[in-house]
Chain A
């Protein structure tokens, strides 16, 4: 497994080195991911070189996320629009081009599905309802309305949620709810997060983490 992953990464890196201009960016991004911004920890320390992240530690999965979304998050950490004591010092020395490069690297990675523990069926059912049908009586719009079919993401404003770590989704929804995250465009996420019950958050996080991360629906 490990060898296969390493081989895959090497093949990927070689492919990027040898092709178009944008791929050179991903190659440069790979170096940044490994070295960091010069003053903090390298990205790979928490997110891994393949962007797998770490559920237990609360580090999000970056592999295959939209480049524009990743760039905006790094810019927001740098400017303080998104507050995080760990992330801010780790990206604050990156310039815009370096952010684009490192985002391109992680965007180009293939998400590897995590093996997840079994959870209660009723919880997953509730999570599916929130993600696909919403809870309109409390004006909770379904996740898929903006994050797209299968919650696979739409453009740079609505990141892919499918396959993201449950711990991270839960943590972020609570962050919106309690006011510690507020960098969403036009307060679109805040509006919904604030109306979610703790049970709905738990359920939708567990459900989304178990959804396929790619595919033509």
Chain B
């Protein structure tokens, strides 16, 4: 595997002043904590060069990668909004601090608070399709599901199984509690200054030639009210470490919180777990929704109190079902 200048090394160089001059736009990512496992996920070049991989497996992994990068090829089948997996899991799902996807392959099966049961890798992927993609997941055990699972597991190559102390995992480094001074109005300003150029004045994003260039951040084309990204802390950490694109860490923590609150106070497709009453749904799934604005009053309206499922002609995919070993 070729030597790469990893973000941790870049951060270390900057911190110790070994790098010659501070670049105008530094890559400012959080430092990894002592004792954390830091993974270097393989690249597609590694995949093509790895002769130990059976050609059939390589084909399946590449299929999974293609699904991940261009999920819009399944528009109207698995995906009913404008998003691709890579829009939130940047750098092909490999990038630390951008929700790298390989930990799903090494930490599952495990209990998940979100649905209160033990989840497999396939169920975790199905969760993304059901909420973030406002869609209907590929069937469990199907070729497409296998391809996606294979891509995840290959990215995890050499990572320790059931190691959960992972550096750069998920979107949570700013913590879960929104600071009291977090402001929608300030968020609107940050949005205008740093986000609207690409994501549009109305959060609609940009779509060209049936491809998503800049993903919509709210409205029918975006993630639904059940997606992890609707949690203000998730969006805040994502924004802090990934946005504006190419400038991770350039916004202050508070700017990230403010703009996350602003974005997530806008309407979006209904939570598939909707009971018919947003306040009631919020209460029922309070372990999740205590971090979202769903079911709260904003500007005289209860956010999420509507029957809009976006382009998706149903509310809840069949894949979302409880599991019990009692």
Contact = CB atoms under 8 A, between A and B. Distances in A.
Given A155-B206, A188-B244, A148 B213 contact: yes
Interface residues of B, number: 31
A44 B10 CA distance: 46
Given A187-B247, A188-B246, A157 B208 contact: no
A192 B246 contact: yes
A149 B211 contact: yes
B246 A139 contact: yes
Contact of A149 (B27, B194, B198, B209): B209
A217 B198 CA distance: 20
Interface string A55-84: 000000000000000000000000000000
Given A186-B194, A186-B197, A191 B94 contact: no
B6 to A, nearest CB: 7
Interface string A170-183: 00000000010000
Contacts of A141: 245-246
A190 B25 contact: yes
A146 B206 CA distance: 10
Nearest to B209: A217
Contacts of B219: none
A194 interface: yes
Contacts of B5: 137-138
Interface in B184-213: 193-194, 197-198, 206, 208-209, 211, 213
Nearest to B212: A149
Contacts of B209: 149, 216-217
Contacts of A194: 23-25
Nearest to A149: B211
A201 B245 CA distance: 19
B323 interface: no
A192 B10 CA distance: 15
Contact of B213 (A139, A149, A179, A195): A149
Interface in A161-217: 179, 185-188, 190-192, 194-195, 216-217
Contacts of B92: 133, 136
A145 interface: yes
A94 interface: no
Contact of A136 (B23, B95, B211, B214): B95
Q: With a 10 A CB-CB cut-off, give which of A133, A139, A145, A157 has the most chain B CB atoms.
A: A139
A154 interface: yes
B22 to A, nearest CB: 11
A190 B24 contact: yes
Nearest to B247: A191
B54 interface: no
B246 A157 contact: no
B248 A139 contact: yes
Contacts of A146: 198, 213, 245
Contacts of A148: 208, 213
A183 to B, nearest CB: 14
Contacts of B27: 139
Contacts of A187: 24-25, 247
A136 B209 CA distance: 25
B321 interface: no
Contacts of A136: 90-92, 94-95
A190 B248 CA distance: 14
Nearest to A135: B4
A152 B209 CA distance: 11
A107 B6 CA distance: 41
A137 B6 contact: yes
Given A139-B248, A188-B245, A154 B25 contact: no
Nearest to A189: B246
A138 B4 CA distance: 8
Interface in B1-45: 4-7, 10, 23-25, 27, 43-44
Contacts of A217: 209, 211
Nearest to B23: A194
A172 to B, nearest CB: 16
Given A136-B91, A146-B198, A154 B206 contact: yes
A69 to B, nearest CB: 13
A134 B98 CA distance: 16
Contacts of B10: 139
Contacts of B6: 137
Contacts of B211: 149, 217
A13 to B, nearest CB: 29
Nearest to A136: B91
Interface in B147-206: 193-194, 197-198, 206
7 contacts: A133-B44, A137-B5, A145-B213, A149-B208, A149-B209, A155-B206, A191-B24
